[in-house]
Structure 1
């Protein structure tokens, strides 16, 4: 299970939480056996409409041992340093079985700014469904197609469908954020 310290340990969100309590609750409610604590999320996620670091903008486990990681390739963007440090962080982590992750970078779209400043558009924020993947699109054909190809490679046999996620991101979320599935314990 991937979580961020700035979300789970936020006193405004979970005033009595500490790592041990969070891990017990995750085990009780969804059967988590191994929790990886990311130190932070993307820069803009700490703005007015942000979630203070939700992990579903940064990384996800695509399959056992395979980690999809948001990558900001432009050095001018504040998330360039953030994603480089998160990659270094994940290179030192192991999955629940003790193996190192195969890290697959999912580059951010080429667009860097909107009217409010640097964007945190992320293709990591997608939804896996029966037979498919609903992917975020940002109106940038080259970037959107590149992300769809990477998602197709880590989810073999699933059809990747891209939808325009810009209106959702403008309010601090993404496809995954608005489709909170409820996994069965032990599933």
Structure 2
């Protein structure tokens, strides 16, 4: 049976998220409180447009309800971390429009020494069970933030994720593509060599594509554009744009590439290069939930997204506490397509 992953802009049944609990990503109570406030802000923003289900760990339901209010459904399951894009399933549809859920192998973003994944490796099946859909198991170590599709056969990937030594050291590029295509219904993979510089730090994913580039519609891809030569991503983002502009999609169309200027801030409080990116947004029914950084370019990015999605309401949410943990708004959300 053939399945296809719908693009993110297709209608959703709901959004799945996971509630932050005590773990190595949030090193103290203050960081955990900031993370919970940020996750709750995203959940409330999304819930204006579609239902949200929040998975929380045992004993964490009261903290979730206190910040989320009554408008978000809660489900209790064992959790290690809170990045639903990566630990949750990738929903796909068959030719009759019936849903299934791809369960990739999850190993803590390449078996990083700080990560725990005993429970998170099972979350995709828990979500699929709660959604009442069958599971399609994959032997590929992969995460939802490491793929982006246009819904018409094209998928974006990065060398340092799917081909990384911590994930799939025995797989060839051809084997990875074959498995991705089999599970997502895609026919053409466009590979970027790596991700943003800051994504290789302590809590980085080692190169997720959803912070670098994302389809806005078939034939059109948004790319992170660091415009300050002092940041190492200045060179990287120019290269990404050049690679993508030289590509055609699965339908043979030359890609239209739209540069999204990065925030102006270059380093965090610890002096490390930031990977702050507006690419890591989330499309929900009638809305765009966009990362904000208390930065002059927040409104620049918001205006670009308003032009790109004139029928959607753009909502800015401060994503700095999310990025401090290693990701952004896209990383903590996972869409379940409407049937």
Q: TM-score range by the shorter chain?
A: over 0.9
Counterpart in the other structure of 1:48: 202
Select which of 147, 156, 165 maps to 2:301.
Answer: 147
Where does 1:1-187 land on structure 2 (aligned, <5 Å)? 1-116=155-270, 117-140=272-295, 142-181=296-335
CA offset at residue 15 of structure 1? 2.9
| RMSD, aligned CA | 1.5
CA offset at residue 24 of structure 1? 1.6
Structure index of larger Rg: 2
Give unmatched runs, 5+ long, in structure 1.
none
Runs of 4+ residues over 2 Å off in structure 1:
180-184
How far apart are the structure 2 equivalents of 1:105 and 1:148? 13
CA offset at residue 73 of structure 1? 0.4
How high is the TM-score relative to the length of structure 2? 0.52
Aligned residues: 184
How high is the TM-score relative to the length of structure 1? 0.93
How far apart are the structure 1 equivalents of 2:336 and 2:224? 24
How far apart are the structure 2 equivalents of 1:158 and 1:183? 17
Point out the more displaced range, 153-162 or 55-64: 153-162
In structure 2, do the counterparts of structure 1 residues 31 and 6 end up closer, same or farther at CA, with 3 Å as the change threshold?
A: same
Q: Secondary structure at the match of 1:160?
A: strand
